[in-house]
A and B are shown apart, each in its own frame.
Chain A
Amino acid sequence: MRNMWIIAKREYKHYFISPIAYVIMFTILVIVGIVFALNVWQASQPIVMYSPYVPEVSIITGPMLFMFIFSIPALTMRLLADEHRTGTLELLLTAPLRDWELIAGKWLGSLLFVLTLVAISLLYPLILHLLIEPGLDLGVLLTNYLGLILISAALLAIGVGISAMFSNQIAAFFTTLVVLVVLWFLIGAPAEIVPRFSDFFRYIDIRDHFYNSMANGVLNLSDVIFPLTLLALGLFLGTLTIEIRRWR
């Protein structure tokens, strides 16, 4: 655990000297801010055709998660691919730490960065809370952010696992992007096409676990277990890749 923390600390600090991390943080906060402002503006319009529109937390967490699909590959691409390219992996693999501690430490470092970003974004729900009557439902706020954090933690783990397979950051970036896009946009699609397995496809659709439950303040056990399974899978994949690299 201590080794994991040492690795994570270094990675976390590294994000703050990297321009990519700042660009990602800035872009996400601005775009989420714009979406947020548009929603608030729409709600403030006097003429509403149907029932009055009250913005919810998911107008913040939804776009954020969407943006994470495209930015997480950029946050994780470097983590192991660059160690491999520059040869510093040799240093870490001959230091007294276990392979899983290295992988988990890298993942934790990236998670801490995302958590920082998520913490800053809490400013938006705070503003929303002050704008609407009678304020935000705390339960819905919690499940939204729980979902956001759980799902990004899982996606980061997948990114770390894929980064371990490459020595080229760009290759790691695109592979992770493809995997995340498939997981987010495509994997749920067969649910409509093959009704016989629709339950299965719905279960492996991360989007479904967020939008149809946690985003609305619902918390099912499966919505927590599924991201955790992905997370474990990503870290396992990364550790396995390092082990295989050693034996080659």
Chain B
Amino acid sequence: MLERRLIIVTGKGGVGRSAVSAALALRAVHLGKRVLTVAMTDQTGLALHLGRERLDYEAREIRPGLHALAIHRPAALNEYLKVQLGVPKVTRMGPIARAFDALASTAPGIREVVTMGKVLWEVRREAWDLVIADGPPLGQIGSHLRAPQTVTELVPVGKVREQADWMIDLLADPSASTMLLVTLAEELPVTETQEALTWLQEHHVIGAPLVAANRILPALQATGKQIKEAGPGPVQEAASMHQTLHEEQQKWIAELPPDVQLPFLFGLLTPPEVAARLADVWGEE
């Protein structure tokens, strides 16, 4: 997977999307790649896992080999107009800028094309070996991936159309772009991941996606007999809790099944520590 040029990481809210994005970036840097991580919609999650308070729209070096930026919409819209559409500066100010803003928030696809466009533009620039996007939540992934198509359906000719065309090609190129769906081994996230996988299969907008199951418990190294013998009390309670959770998780894992399993991390860890631990696990897999 790390041989591609773009990985978009998505998942239902709260499954650890930003942690996994940061871990993946750390792993790729460890393998000697020049990596850019991009926070597409959530401004804080990725920053915290990289040990920063916030990220700027300009790519900043986090550590050797690793850069990060966050997409701020007004800046992204301005760059899209300037770099991609070649709109002269005078038209990007005053009343006309406001008109652009109205267009961007009302016409279907434009808002997402501006965000996706920034990510794909960074891939196209070839300043990085790999771009890892901490993507929108699962519920918005379809509208983002399909945004360039939506725009071409709306605008038959012109510059917006031309820009959308190369975006479609770059996303759909399986050797360049892929997706990582992060999930928990629980009913709701698994169901939504399955729905997303079906949608992706039907739409062919991006190369074959991978699935990572996060916060997976190891099997308990004890028999039912041993648990019974422990007698009532915390030891037994924790053991049966662990066992039931483990069984439930295995049931949902069997439904998927995921390409990667990431461990449940016990106890007090800071977000950068979580990212570092997950990156190590990734290396072992």
A and B assemble together: no
Give residues in B with beta carbon < 8 Å to A: none
